[in-house]
Amino acid sequence: MDVTHAKYSGASAPSIIRIVLIGFTFLLLGLFLVLPMVFIFHEALSKGAAYFIGAMADDDTLSSIRLTLLVAVVTVPLNTFFGIAAAWCVTKFEFRGKSLLVTLIDLPFSVSPVVAGLIFVLVFGRTGWFGPWLRAHHMKVVFALPGIILATVFITFPFVARELIPLMQAQGSDEEQAARVLGASGWKMFWRITMPNIKWGVLYGVILCNARAMGEFGAVAVVSGSIRGVTCTVPLQVEQLYSEDYVAAFAVSSMLALLAVVTLVAKTAVEWKVARTLAAAQVEAAPIETPLPFAPPELGVGSPGEGI
């Protein structure tokens, strides 16, 4: 047998190799994921439950929690609306600049959050492009709530769109076209056909968007100024507490760790549902091959040289 054409598969690998690879994978997961999570909760409760509750009930901590929730409540619906609109535009229409639009949607994935925050400071800061106009109209963007929301929206707006675009491309537009032929309006077509087909993809993108919005540090740290009790979100509050009260910092960060666990569980459940929806859409979109009742002569059925 020619060894150059031999196929290697994991199933045919020696058992010792499989055991070593699986063990090495779980070892890395334990060291870099499970162990840090255990350490966070251990340190958060190292001085007892009363100290943990007191750290969480601190006025500055409660203010950071309220601010983080407010930013998420504003950011997630905006990015959900944008993601659905962008995915609809990309998958249902052909137009010039379509590839440029997809590239711009992915831009926050390639730009450092700190650089993104600096851009907003240069545009809306006191000496920025719109700084004099904002001061003249007594409006404040940087080091205030609007700047935090703008930075968070920029960082998180690709999540919903990037989850919906491949899903809607796999589903195609046959159902929408059939509904339009039958006289359905655009609004009714969206709510009766499109939205039921993409609801799990929307939920998946919302989960990721919310987790990133509540855990964003770099861009928010630049535009907020980290004013305690005013513009400190939960990640910024953890950073400030770390240099003052080590245990309180871990107590507050345990809330973000718990959010990460909940997000992971929800993400896994929705990801499974999205994968099933995507597979079903691909099966429906696959062409059905109907076998011919006979073999026409022009197909050349028969032995070589027959009919010559």
Question: What confidence score (pLDDT) does residue 160 get?
Answer: 94
**What distance in Å separates the CA atoms of residue 52 and residue 245, rounded to the nearest whole number?**
12
Task: Name the helix (H) or strand (E) containing 29.
Answer: helix 15-29
**What distance in Å separates the CA atoms of residue 179 and residue 173, rounded to the nearest whole number?**
10
Query: Averaged over 41-62, what is the pLDDT?
Result: 92
Question: What confidence score (pLDDT) does residue 301 get?
Answer: 42
Question: What confidence score (pLDDT) does residue 13 get?
Answer: 57
pTM: 0.79
Question: What confidence score (pLDDT) does residue 1 get?
Answer: 46
- Do residues 83 and 199 lie in contact, with contact meaning Cβ atoms separated by under 8 Å? no
List pLDDT tens digits, range 88-105.
889 888 888 888 988 999
Residue 82: how many other CB atoms lie within 10 Å = 16
Question: What confidence score (pLDDT) does residue 87 get?
Answer: 92
pLDDT of 11 above 60: no
Q: What is the mean pLDDT of the chain?
A: 84
Percentage with pLDDT > 90 across the chain:
47
Pick the range with the lowest mean pLDDT from 44-48, 164-168, 180-184, 257-261: 180-184
Query: Averaged over 187-213, what is the pLDDT?
Result: 88
Name the H helices within 172-288: 174-181, 186-189, 195-215, 218-224, 234-242, 246-285
Comparing 260 with 237, which gets the higher pLDDT? 237
Q: pLDDT-derived band of residue 145, with 50, 70 and 90 as boundaries?
A: very high
